[in-house]
Amino acid sequence: MNPAPSPREPSREHLANPLVRYLLATRPAFLSITLAGCLLGFATALADGVPFGWTRAAVTLLLAMLAHAGINVLNDYCDHLNGSDARNTQRIYPYTGGSRFIQNGVLTPYQMLGFSVVLFAVTIAGGVWLLSAAGSGLFWIGLAGLAIGWAYSAAPLRLNSRGAGEACVAAGFLLVVAGADTVQRGAFAPLPWVAGAPYALLVVSLLYINQFPDRAADRASGKLHWVARLSPAAAAWGYGLILLLAVLTLLGGVLFDALPLASLIALAALFPAGAAARQLQRFAATPERLAPAIRLTLFTAHAQPLLLATILLFSGDFP
């Protein structure tokens, strides 16, 4: 049985303004992680000496966050259909358990579905304009990003329910960095893919740890991601593996001269996630105690790309 909403959760009475209601339905607090990825993509282009286009950058930021917002809203609708959010009694709001807009009666399921369609339509329309400035390569990045966002939670693929959600998130947020870079330089380049890999993996670590409070509800709803498939103790090791992969991709970029040596400074941003890994080992079976670990993971997923972007800017070859 679903518990009564906490005072922090959204309610129709407290969100009388429809504009505010729809804005908050996108979970705007989480859109900043896309902002961080775009800033890293801009930095990789600037580091390679590409002249910076402010208008293209502003449109890129807007469209990337609209796409992320559309994916968030669509995911809420899909989790309503499979019943996972309604069953979720161990959620840690606002980090896990969805936006609660459908469950708390703030918006109807069809309003959420329609809103996601509008957000995707605006994103596509804006992307068509960007294509004229960035070239055809952006078409494939945008198409792949939207396809991944749909396939992650929507039928018939529902990839997160099949153990492929982590791969979807890694690919999707790597495309954020590559897309931001491509809009600036008008062509593909290796640097954004190399620089974006650790960031994408850290976003995966956020998804991964967020699944522990949702585990029981997801299992009951058939959302069989890896945290749901494994025991809590075994799944906890997966978080450390993701962090290790993030470290190795950054080290690899430096060892193969794709990233400057100073990029190793960005490893400092992973120390909070290391503390989160230790907390997860202790509390994997009592996920209601994971809020501090989730906040540490969220901090790392923002700090690492921003720190690496700063390093690239200071190490780059400006025009």
Report the percent of the chain where pLDDT is more than 70: 97
Judged against a pLDDT cut of 90, whether residue 169 lies above it is answered with yes
pLDDT value, residue 222 = 95
Please tell me the CATH code under which domain 18-315 is placed.
1.10.600
pLDDT value, residue 29 = 86
Cα dihedral sign, 40-46-50-52: positive
| Count of helices and strands (H, E) across the chain | 13, 0
pLDDT value, residue 36 = 98
Question: Is the model more confident about 2 or about 129?
Answer: 129
| Cβ atoms within 10 Å of 302's Cβ, excluding its own | 20
pLDDT value, residue 8 = 83
- Tell me what the mean pLDDT of segment 279-304 comes to: 98
Domain map (residue ranges) of the chain: 18-315
pLDDT value, residue 23 = 96
pLDDT value, residue 1 = 42
| Residues 96/210, Cβ–Cβ less than 8 Å | yes
pLDDT value, residue 79 = 97
Judged against a pLDDT cut of 70, whether residue 194 lies above it is answered with yes
| Coil, strand or helix at 163 | coil
Judged against a pLDDT cut of 60, whether residue 290 lies above it is answered with yes
pLDDT value, residue 61 = 97
Look over the chain and give the mean of its residue pLDDT values, rounded to a whole number.
95
pLDDT in tens, 229-273: 999 999 999 999 999 999 999 999 999 999 999 999 999 999 999
**Using CA atoms, how far apart are residues 58 and 44, in angstroms rounded to an integer?**
16
pLDDT value, residue 133 = 78
Query: For residue 226, with 0-12 CB atoms within 10 Å meaning exposed, 13-18 middle and 19 or more buried, which class applies?
Result: middle
How sure is the predictor about 7, in pLDDT bands with cuts at 50, 70 and 90? Answer: low
| Cβ atoms within 10 Å of 28's Cβ, excluding its own | 13
